Amino acid sequence: MTILIKLLGTAISIGAGFAATKVLDSVWEKSTGNKPPKDATNIEASLRDTLVFALVSASVGAVVNVFTQRYTQKAIARFNSTPDKV
């Protein structure tokens, strides 16, 4: 059952990362009026915008990662404390 919970945590992490990316992209586009600078060959994007977007997206990714790991660890601890109730 622990493997199932870990797989579920991985799936939640992937889904949360995908959702966070979509939200971040739309917030970036609404706040700056430009598409997120993801393409390395895009010369029109300024270095400042590219660095800010990289820092923000890395921060959001780290937060999503921490939350999903905590959720998975809590689920594993809950299962280990009461395996017969699950």
The domains of the chain are located at 2-79
What confidence tier does 9 reach under pLDDT thresholds 50, 70, 90? confident
Instruction: Label residue 82 exposed, middle or buried (CB < 10 Å: 0-12, 13-18, 19+).
Output: exposed
Dist. CA 5–CA 86, nearest whole Å: 12
Query: What are 15-65's pLDDT values in tens digits?
Result: 999 999 999 999 999 999 988 988 777 777 788 888 899 999 999 999 999
